[in-house]
């Protein structure tokens, strides 16, 4: 295990030209295994060399977490997406420096095209007769998710209501669903959000699956609503989410105003990484960038984005009620506990770990999916300005977690749609488990 922290910048790969759809034809995803400090330094140099060309991008890194792969290799690794024009050179450099690697995705564009099944007009019509078009067999656009939120509020008015907490940069509603049997906020509450990073499609799909189970199958678990209020926001970054569907499947950031940057040879760059934009140790480490053209641009200031500011304002007005904060991301199959901005553990970490452990155990019992549990700093890397650290450090929500959904890299961000229901089922099992443990055990 490497005994020091490495922060990497996730780079913007390509930009759509003249409004066209970005193609990733010939792009390959490599998992590389630097086993020494020297190899890690070489790897970082390779990435930095292509940084401003946008030809190599870091998808994920597990340099401090051990997980045994199918070929019995203990993985301390980084996933690199390479453009075809530099792939040969990248592989030669890896070989020359003795850095082993596997090819996880041979052609990213093919993976993207097969990720989401086409809409069957006949089935789509049948589904719409149920009052909404949302399914858990394919990934849906934002309008379908928004319509489902409205459908639940109209169909179950005794327990559901919608609330618009703000507007996105492009004017879309920032909408959440409140699920409650009443009580004027006297009950403890759980917050769940998804879709903060636009390209992580499995996140909103999983959050809507939780909504489905919680509301439409409430008779199976009435205690979950009787004892707890729920605030659920399936798409926290609607502009970016829509852009990832319409133009660039790998778009990560928001879509806030254009910023000039001559270094990249582009007139303008858009968006901010919304999970580096929270006002808690914002911009203190190298896990985020001051360059507006990178995927991890932290913004010109904390809470520069209306999306993060609206979420924070809403949570702060209910910080004494909200006892559990869950934000769903992908990928890597990890349940992350603060802190992420430093290697130390927060006050109450043992209690936080025990509750998370209940969730991980329930999740793994569904189909054996292996999750790692620990802090982001110890399992991944230090990163400041993240929402879970803010929820813990500023809002004072003791049980604040990031759940990194499947998979571990075989598909990465382009997880096939047939995985939506299984991922939803196991994640729902985890949410039920921590809720029941929290309420039954009267966890402090």
Catalytic site residues? 404
418: number of Cβ within 10 Å:
11
3-state secondary structure of 291: coil
DSSP 294-330: STTB--SSTT-SHHHHHHHHHHHHTTTTEEEEEEEEE
Residue 138 CA to residue 164 CA, distance in Å, equals 26
Residue 259 CA to residue 251 CA, distance in Å, equals 16
Instruction: Answer positive or negative: Cα dihedral of 285, 264, 79, 335.
Output: positive
3-state secondary structure of 403: strand
Greatest CA span in the chain, whole angstroms?
A: 66
Residue 407 CA to residue 409 CA, distance in Å, equals 6
DSSP 113-158: HHHSPPP-HHHHHHHHTTT----SSS---HHHHHHHHHHHHHH-TT
3-state secondary structure of 32: strand
Q: Whose CA is closest to 400, among 411, 391, 413?
A: 391
For 108: left if phi > 0, alpha if psi spans -120 to 50, otherwise beta; the answer is alpha
Asked whether 412 and 105 are in contact (CB, 8 A), the reply is yes
DSSP 241-307: HHHHHHT-TT--S--PPPEEEGGGTEEEE----GGG-SSSSTT-STTSBS-TTSTTB--SSTT-SHH
Instruction: Determine if the peptide bond prior to 339 is cis (ω within 30°).
Output: yes
Residue 83 CA to residue 30 CA, distance in Å, equals 11
Q: Whose CA is closest to 410, among 111, 82, 95, 23?
A: 111
Instruction: Answer positive or negative: Cα dihedral of 252, 257, 261, 266.
Output: positive
């Amino acid at each position: 295990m490497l005994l020091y922290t490495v922060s990497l910048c996730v780079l913007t790969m390509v930009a759509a030209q003249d409004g066209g759809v970005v193609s990733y034809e010939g792009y390959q995803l490599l998992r590389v295994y630097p086993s020494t400090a020297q190899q890690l330094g070489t790897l970082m140099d390779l990435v930095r060399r292509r940084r401003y060309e946008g030809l190599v991008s870091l998808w994920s890194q597990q340099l401090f977490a051990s997980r045994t792969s199918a070929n019995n290799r203990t993985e301390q690794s980084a996933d690199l997406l390479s453009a075809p024009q530099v792939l040969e050179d990248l592989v030669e450099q890896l070989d020359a420096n003795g850095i082993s690697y596997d090819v996880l995705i041979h052609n990213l564009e093919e993976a993207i095209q097969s990720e989401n099944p086409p809409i069957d007009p006949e089935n789509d019509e049948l589904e719409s007769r149920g009052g909404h078009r949302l399914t858990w067999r394919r990934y849906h656009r934002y309008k379908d998710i928004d319509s489902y939120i409205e459908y639940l509020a109209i169909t179950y008015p005794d327990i559901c209501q919608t609330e618009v907490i703000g507007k996105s940069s492009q004017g879309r509603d920032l909408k959440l669903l409140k699920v409650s049997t009443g009580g004027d906020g006297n009950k403890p509450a759980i917050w769940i959000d998804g879709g903060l990073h636009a390209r992580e499609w499995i996140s909103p799909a999983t959050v809507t699956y939780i909504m489905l189970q919680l509301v439409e199958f409430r008779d199976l678990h009435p205690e979950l609503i009787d004892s707890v209020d729920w605030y659920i926001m399936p798409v926290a970054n609607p502009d970016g989410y829509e852009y990832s569907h319409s133009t660039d499947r790998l778009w990560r950031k928001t879509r806030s105003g254009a910023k000039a940057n001559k270094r990249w040879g582009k007139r303008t760059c858009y968006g901010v990484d919304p999970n580096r934009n929270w006002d808690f140790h914002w911009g203190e480490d190298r896990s985020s960038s001051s360059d507006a053209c990178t995927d991890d641009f932290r913004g010109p200031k904390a809470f520069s984005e209306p999306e993060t500011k609206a979420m924070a304002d809403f949570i702060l007005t209910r910080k004494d009620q909200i006892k559990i904060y869950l934000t769903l991301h992908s990928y890597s199959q990890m349940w992350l506990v603060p802190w992420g901005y430093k290697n130390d553990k927060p006050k109450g970490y043992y209690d936080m770990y025990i509750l998370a452990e209940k969730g991980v155990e329930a999740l793994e019992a569904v189909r054996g999916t292996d999750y790692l549990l620990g802090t982001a700093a110890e399992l991944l890397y230090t990163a400041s300005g993240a929402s879970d650290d803010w929820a813990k450090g500023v809002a004072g929500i003791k049980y604040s977690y990031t759940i990194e959904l499947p998979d571990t890299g075989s598909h990465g961000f382009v997880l096939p749609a047939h995985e939506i229901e299984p991922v939803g089922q196991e994640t729902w099992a985890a949410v039920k488990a921590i809720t029941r443990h929290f309420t039954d055990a009267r966890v402090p």
